[in-house]
Copies of this chain bind each other. A is one copy, B any other.
Amino acid sequence: MPSHTELLRLAVDLAHANRQRGGRPFGAVLARDGEVIATGINDIVHTHDPSAHAEMQALRAGTWRQASPSLAGCTLYASGHPCPMCLAALLMAGCGQVFYAFDNQDATPYGLSNEGWYRCLRLPLVPPPLPLSRLDTGISAAQLYGDTPWPQA
């Protein structure tokens, strides 16, 4: 069974591949008992859908695949710290836990932090409403985010 770090590394690889195709550098993997159910990339640039965050795309693909809206027993691996929309969606769908690689501090120099939205909603970042942990994948934020300005979304 793949480790949490290996599955998170896959999410980061998806984020990197999405960057190569002109998308925003975010990827996600949805798994249950170590088995990958679905993956997602941030697809705002290509779809114009502002809700097409990587976590949401993985949630949509995974629930479609299993023909059930419940993410009970699932773990979501996200390259970046989930935004308030994704956090609420994962919570409401019953997702068991979330691991992410880069937090808002890592993302700030590249204009990719979502901390401002948490502040705007007055939604506390800690403690999170479901288990939410950062894991080191051995890849640096600079390697993923680089210094290219990103399309706003």
User: Which residues of chain A have a CB within 8 Å of any CB of chain B?
Assistant: 44, 47-51, 56, 59-60, 63-64, 66-71, 83-85, 87-89, 91-93, 117, 120-124, 129, 153
A64 to B24, CA, bound (A): 18
Query: Are B83's CB and A67's CB within 8 A?
Result: no
Cβ 8 A contact of A63, one of B49, B92, B122, B124: B49
Q: How far is the CB of A125 from chain B (nearest CB, A)?
A: 10
Q: List 16 A-B contacts (CB under 8 A).
A: A49-B60, A49-B69, A50-B69, A50-B71, A50-B89, A50-B92, A51-B56, A51-B93, A69-B153, A83-B88, A84-B88, A84-B92, A87-B121, A91-B117, A121-B123, A122-B123
B49, B92, B122: the one within 8 Å of A64 (CB): B49
CB-CB < 8 A to A93: which residues of B?
50-51
Indicate how many identical chains form the complex. Answer: 2
Q: Which of B50, B69, B88 contacts A59 (CB 8 A)?
A: B50
In addition to A48-B63, A50-B69, A85-B85, 12 A-B residue pairs with Cβ atoms within 8 Å of each other are A48-B64, A48-B67, A50-B59, A50-B63, A50-B70, A50-B92, A51-B60, A85-B89, A88-B121, A91-B117, A121-B123, A121-B129
A121 — which chain B residues lie within 8 A by C-beta?
87-88, 91, 123, 129
Q: Are A117 and B88 in contact, with the CB atoms below 8 A?
A: yes
In the complex, what residues of B have CB within 8 A of residue A89's CB? 50-51, 85
CA of A84 to CA of B122 in the docked complex: distance in angstroms?
12
Q: Which residue of B lies closest to A44 (CB)?
A: B69
